[in-house]
Amino acid sequence: MTAIVSALEAGLPGLLADMEQLVRTESPSEDLAAVTECARVAAGIGTRLTGAAPEWIDGSGRPALRWRFGSGDRVLLLGHFDTVWPVGSLAGHPFEVAGGRLTGPGCFDMKAGVAQLFHALSVLDDLDGVSVLLTGDEEIGAPTSRALIEAEARRTRAVLVLEASEGGALKTERKGMSGYGLTIAGRAAHAGLEPHKGVNTTTELAHQVLALSALADPAAGTTVTPTVASSGTTRNTVPDEARLMVDVRVATPAEQDRVDRAVHALRPVLDGASLTFSGGPDRPPLPATASAELFGLARDHYAELGFGALRGVAVGGGSDGNLTAGAGTPTLDGLGAVGGGAHADDEHVIVAELPRRAALVASLVASLLRKSPAGPGKVGP
């Protein structure tokens, strides 16, 4: 294992150069041309470091990249190359390496993870059994890649997700996510002359915000958060339409089902008002049981590499790892860059941690490839 660490430390300049190329190729999820160009850059890096070109999978004009080495059914490395940063963000957040930190839009979430993935594979002699899947729509909920991710997970015995790591901790649990849109219909009237003839959707909206908020269960880890709301057109008109968006996070599938049933059971409070809900469960939870065996393996390797103790953490945010865990495949998340500031002005990566985290990924992959075949949903004996 010391040879792996030495090789990746020696290769740090090349890793930084690949990260610079990825970060400078801006790729907001909604800009298909930009995402496609970043896919080409990622494909070139992966081809150079593994010696194999990817399969280019097009989903409604949005590319995904897949590598399968040999059977490709032992371990899947999963990541994405889209970001939340619009084209032009480099002007205010330039790529820079200074004071032990690397900065630039999307560096932490998760272009560093993409570069680390390929550098980790580059130090392994045998990749038979490895698959790599990189997608371009994770930040918008994987609308075109979800089925591909789930199918790839089902044929694989373990999934390593190269999402970023706050403070170096791996993400051993993620909450499931649901999203709802509510449209309220009422009746307009003059607010001064005859407000009693109207059905006020702002008032109904207030009732529904309170009812939805009451569905939360902090003891169970369930949050129900009304977010974006709108109602009305002018100050002197009883509003006849209102809209609301609702974010739900849950720790268990049972809670996700409970909230979904409760949301759709809501009824209007005002006579004459009507409610129309859209949306529902989006990503299932990634429970601790899905990551436990892989995390134990990662913790052992981390110590053997001389890096000390490795922590695991439960988080409220979702990733494509939720989908692979939901497909029944053991999944370990947060194996990408160590740093912070995802989606924020202070987004950054800790440079010294780059080869260390790549070494952990390489050692995990090598270990998983050595394990004898197990049944579906198992890492192996």
Read off φ and ψ for residue 169, nearest 5 degrees. -80, 140
Cα–Cα separations (whole angstroms), residue 175 to 143, 257, 288, 342? 19, 13, 10, 18
| Contact predicate 223/215, CB 8 Å | no
DSSP 292-334: HHHHHHHHHHHHHTT-----EEEES---HHHHHHHTT--EEB-
> In the chain, what's the furthest Cα-to-Cα distance?
82
HEC letters along 219-232: HHCEEEEEEEEEEC
Tell me if residue 16 falls in helix, strand or coil: helix
3-state SS class at 48: helix
Catalytic residue among 82, 204, 282, 320: 82
List CB contacts of 363: < 8 A, sequence separation 6 or more.
1, 4, 301, 304, 305
Is 139 one of the annotated active-site residues of the chain? no
Task: Return the closest-CA partner of residue 173 out of 329, 318, 13.
Answer: 318
Dihedral sign for Cα 8, 13, 14, 15, please. positive
Question: Is residue 281 helix, strand or coil?
Answer: strand
Pairing outcome for strands 159-161 and 331-332: parallel
CB neighbour burial string for 200-232, b if at least 16 within 10 angstroms, e if fewer: bbebbbeebeebbeebbeeeebbbbebeebebb
58 is a catalytic site residue: no
Catalytic residue among 18, 26, 138, 204: 138
Burial of 364 (0-12, 13-18, 19+ CB in 10 A): buried
Task: Say which residue the tokens 């002699």 belong to.
Answer: 125
Q: Which residues contact 254 (CB under 8 A, 6 or more apart)?
A: none
The rounded distance, in Å, linking the Cα atoms of 210 and 214 is 6
Which of the residues are catalytic? 82, 138
